[in-house]
Structure 1
Amino acid sequence: MKFPKILASAFALTLLFNVSCRNSDDPIEEELPKGAYENGIIITNEGGYSTPTSTVSFIPNDLSKQEDNIFAKNNDNAVLGNVFQTIGFKGDLAYLVLNVPNKVEIVNRYTFKKSATITSNLSTPRYIAFTPNHTYITNHDFATVKKVNIYTNTNEFVKSINFDRYAEKISSSNGFVYVQTDGLTYDSSYNELATGHTISRINPATNAVDKTITLSDELIIRDMIADENFVYVVTSDYTNSNLYKITSATGNVEKITLTGVAGAQKLALDNGKLYFMTSGKKIYNLAANTPNALFTATASYAYGFNVINGNIYVSDASFTGDSTVRIYNLTGTLVKTLSTGIGTNGFYKN
């Protein structure tokens, strides 16, 4: 009568031993690589206005090699377009915004295989932002087109929001979409003129503007970026610069005068720190609302700028041949120099 109990006990011990062995000795599954362009920097080359010379380059985080023309290479030598404006990321997808062909090419950000194209209702698209349910694309042609187009996650056109003045940079932050609705134009002598001083907020619940923020200076809005909680706007002329820090949930604005800084114009965020570059190619970070000069970059025409993983990327753009990219560390030591495509204008962490 006791024999079945002995067998049952032995079976239970054997099962426990096997489970224990599997838990301790089986190899741990590692996450498979997502593609050749994971863990690196995507470089956008704007190309020429009248010729389809836009391209995309890639370098890994260790800067050990460079691969050019990755859109063409992974899409049967497809031509990307003429004027490659920017890239936006949503999940595993990268949205490549081209404003002369009036299209947005959608690719897998890690393989660069194309999956879709947006063309509906685009007119000189500029910049792109996302919420969980929608895609937002600014359009302006420096003349009559001044709008944001809204699309579903399946790229179906929903509506346009028209503005009195330019719709340029666009960012999503804390559930809202912020649009730079003013910027820069020129008089008949090609002197710079501000077109106004507003930032507009779109509420994704209604896809309508629910707040317009008027900045308190008369300088030109040069750039706008955002993190999860704040939107940062830089304004300047040839002698003065201001930074506006907008709490995205409320629209409340803090104005920071960048004392002693002329011509601040390009913003970057890296590891929670804010950086900017001036028209004189001076690089600063912001510490306790105080601008801290780091170094002056070398470039004839400093066009693209970003700070990624503690490295500062500056493009010396050419629109007749290859551009030059210089990569610096935070102390200004030159780490690497690259030869890139025509009109290199952006650097993106991937």
Structure 2
Amino acid sequence: MKLNQLLGALALISASFACSDNGEEKPLGKYNNGILIMNEGNFGTNDGEVYHLNPNTEELLPNIFETENLRPFAGLLEDMVFEADRLYLVANTGKVEIVNPADFKSSGAVSAELDQPRSLAVNGSKLFISDYGPYDASYATPDSYVAVVNGLDGGVVSKKIEVSNKPEDLFSYGNYILVAGSEENKIEIIDATQETVTKTLQLEASPRQFYAEDGILWVYAVGADEVIFYTVNLSSLTLGNTYSVPVANATSRIAFDGDDEMYILTSSGWPNYNDAVVSIDIEGNTATATELMTGSGFYGIGFDDNLNQVYVANSNGFQGNGTVTVLSETGSVIRSFEVGRGPSGFLVY
């Protein structure tokens, strides 16, 4: 999930009223206050969906896309991106659905010319969508790209910008789109006007997520036995500081608490799936890791910075529905509840 998504938690709106363009206060909608839970869905049945949670009352509303649009989402959810007053639901089965975050009514889509979209960013009046491209005969993805759509409410793909294999997260800044090239350890920088790659930053690990905080752009990257956090100087589009933390088997899942602390998932993989929730604290030039929880089946993570709670999603091996466990910042279990199939990410309003 994107850390503009995500694949972490963002505080988008904290009040119970919003201001209209004419200055009048109007109540927020049914869904744009609380926590959205992204359920990826099961491969083959493509039953991805979104749940809405009110963390104060613990009321959980299931399948809100289908409820509000009278049709199933019909895809595998990869990312949820809130930008330009719209919520973009990215499905790696080849489409992007665009909904009004207040009532979850569909306002458009991108459903043609995409292969395996991963995430999305907005720049001006354009959408930029990272896409693995099609698999070749050996299941490699040599034709990865970033798709361009002219119009914030979807439409047709006007161009495919060739990038390195397996692009993941995107970040929009000024006239540029930064691309996390996960397979070739690159950050590629696209000029949004020219729609071409104009600069490449080479990394020592696989970049997965961007996160902007207090004028600093963080890059979360994964190595074989460590995780590395890079900073990017946005004024010059150059690398800044580097923080390496010896954590083995890190996954791409991460949540930021907005105060230089990150929560990641690790997994030993098949056949044992020894998983853990790890807290990483960066202070000055030092980064330290603390294991908060162990188990198996951990599939997504988020952070509610309104209540200072960690949300851990468990796929339960895709044998039926998944569960979510809420932790304190120190790892104490607060509660657990059932959600949809393959829960993998959270968006906190």
TM-score class normalised by the smaller sequence: 0.7 to 0.9
- Worse-superposed segment, 79-88 or 275-284: 275-284
Matched, 1:290 2:286: yes
1:86 alignment partner in structure 2: 79
Residues 307, 288 of structure 1: alpha-carbon distance in 2 compared, 3 angstrom cutoff? farther
Runs of 4+ in 1 over 4 A off after TM superposition: none
Task: Indicate the SS of the match to 2:29.
Answer: coil
CA distance in 2, matches of 1:63, 1:174: 40
Structure 2 residue identity aligned to 1:224: Q
Contact 1:74-1:112 within 8 A present in 2 as well: yes
Residues 62, 108 of structure 1: alpha-carbon distance in 2 compared, 3 angstrom cutoff? same
Q: CA RMSD, aligned part only?
A: 2.2
Q: Note the alpha carbon deviations across 1:94-115, whole angstroms, 9 max, x for none.
A: 1111121x11111111111111
1:162 alignment partner in structure 2: 162
| 1:30 Cα offset (Å) | 7.0
CA distance in 1, matches of 2:129, 2:187: 15
Equivalent of 1:277 in 264, 269, 286:
264
Residues 293, 209 of structure 1: alpha-carbon distance in 2 compared, 3 angstrom cutoff? same
Matched, 1:301 2:297: yes
Structure 2 residue identity aligned to 1:313: Y
> Identity of counterpart residues, as a percentage?
25
CA distance in 1, matches of 2:122, 2:145: 16
| 1:174 Cα offset (Å) | 4.8
Residue ranges of structure 1 left out of the alignment (5+ in a row): 1-28, 184-195
Residues 209, 296 of structure 1: alpha-carbon distance in 2 compared, 3 angstrom cutoff? same
- Indicate the structure with greater helix content: 1
CA distance in 1, matches of 2:68, 2:34: 17
Residues 169, 150 of structure 1: alpha-carbon distance in 2 compared, 3 angstrom cutoff? same
| 1:164 Cα offset (Å) | 3.9
Task: Indicate the SS of the match to 2:168.
Answer: coil
Equivalent of 2:45 in 41, 45, 51:
51
| 1:297 Cα offset (Å) | 2.5
Structure 2 residue identity aligned to 1:131: N
- Worse-superposed segment, 125-134 or 294-303: 294-303
Structure 2 residue identity aligned to 1:46: E
Task: Indicate the SS of the match to 2:72.
Answer: coil
Residues 97, 278 of structure 1: alpha-carbon distance in 2 compared, 3 angstrom cutoff? closer
Residues 298, 222 of structure 1: alpha-carbon distance in 2 compared, 3 angstrom cutoff? farther
CA distance in 1, matches of 2:189, 2:103: 34
2:5 alignment partner in structure 1: none
Residues 106, 211 of structure 1: alpha-carbon distance in 2 compared, 3 angstrom cutoff? same
Equivalent of 1:68 in 56, 62, 72:
62
CA distance in 2, matches of 1:293, 1:240: 11
Contact 2:83-2:122 within 8 A present in 1 as well: yes
| 1:124 Cα offset (Å) | 1.4
| 1:255 Cα offset (Å) | 4.4
| 1:248 Cα offset (Å) | 2.5
Contact 1:223-1:267 within 8 A present in 2 as well: no
1:331 alignment partner in structure 2: 330
| 1:272 Cα offset (Å) | 4.1
Q: Note the alpha carbon deviations across 1:253-301, whole angstroms, 9 max, x for none.
A: 1342434433444332333434131414322232224224454224412
Residues 308, 210 of structure 1: alpha-carbon distance in 2 compared, 3 angstrom cutoff? farther
Contact 2:168-2:208 within 8 A present in 1 as well: no
Contact 1:123-1:139 within 8 A present in 2 as well: yes
Contact 1:134-1:151 within 8 A present in 2 as well: yes
Size of the aligned set, in residue pairs, is: 305
1:15 alignment partner in structure 2: none
Structure 2 residue identity aligned to 1:87: M
CA distance in 1, matches of 2:249, 2:262: 14
Matched, 1:134 2:126: yes
Larger radius of gyration: 1
Residue ranges of structure 2 left out of the alignment (5+ in a row): 1-22, 135-139, 267-275
Q: Note the alpha carbon deviations across 1:92-139, whole angstroms, 9 max, x for none.
A: 311111121x11111111111111121132111111111222111011
1:95 alignment partner in structure 2: 88
Task: Indicate the SS of the match to 1:50.
Answer: coil
Equivalent of 2:100 in 93, 104, 108:
108
Task: Map 1:190-205; keep pairs closer than 5 Å.
Answer: 196-205=184-193
